[in-house]
Amino acid sequence: MSVEENKLVVQRMLDALSAGKLDVLLDSMNETATWTVPLASDSIPGLKGPKTKAAFEEQCKSFGSVVPNGVKLVVTGMTAEGDRVAVEAEVSGVTSKGQNYNNLYHFLFVMKDGKVQAVKEYCDTLLVMETLGWAYGA
């Protein structure tokens, strides 16, 4: 696929994430896809990966109870080369405990056969732990 086609797949996936359309999000991924949040420690054990597609699906489902009205994901930058798409984004939402969650993210998507094969998700994990950590066993 072309770089532009890869970017469209990633944009569709992120739009689905922001809209709470789990089926569309998962359809954008290969069956053998992985989602990884690289962590240097076990400070948030429930996030440590890599996660299989099935494990990522379960994590997304449980996240619905943490942020019941979903999150708003706004792409602020996207760069692609070959089979890789890099995305900068801002994510916001309100937790079930009434806490505001606003974080900056960087995603690296690796594409294969027109779908996402691997994702690395980088963000302020201290903020995740302080705001959402209770949901991930931290």
Looking up residue 71, the CATH number of its domain turns out to be 3.10.450.50
- The pLDDT, as a whole number, for residue 130 is 82
Q: What is the pLDDT of residues 39-67, one digit of tens each?
A: 756 666 667 778 999 998 988 888 878 88
- CA–CA separation, 131 and 102 (whole Å): 9
Using the predicted structure, report yes or no on whether residue 137 has a pLDDT greater than 80. Answer: no
Complete edge-to-edge strand list for the sheet that includes strand 84-94: 51-52, 29-36, 115-123, 100-112, 84-94, 71-81
pTM attached to this predicted model: 0.90
| CA contacts within 13 A on the Cβ side of 105 | 25
Strands 29-36 and 115-123, bridge-based pairing? parallel
For 72-122, give the DSSP string: EEEEEEEEEETTEEEEEEEEEEE-TTS-EEEEEEEEEEEEETTEEEEEEEE
Overall domain count for the chain: 1
| pLDDT, tens digit, 9 for 90 and up, residues 73-126 | 999 999 999 999 999 999 999 998 899 999 999 999 999 999 999 999 999 888
Q: Is the peptide bond before 50 cis (omega within 30 degrees of 0)?
A: yes
> Three-state SS for 125?
helix
pLDDT score at 45 = 67
Q: Which residue has the tokens 């959402």?
A: 132
Look up the domain containing 123 and give its range: 3-136
* Statement: residue 138 has pLDDT above 60: no
Model pLDDT for residues 11-35, shown as the tens digit of each residue: 999 999 999 899 999 999 999 999 9
Widest CA span in the chain: 43
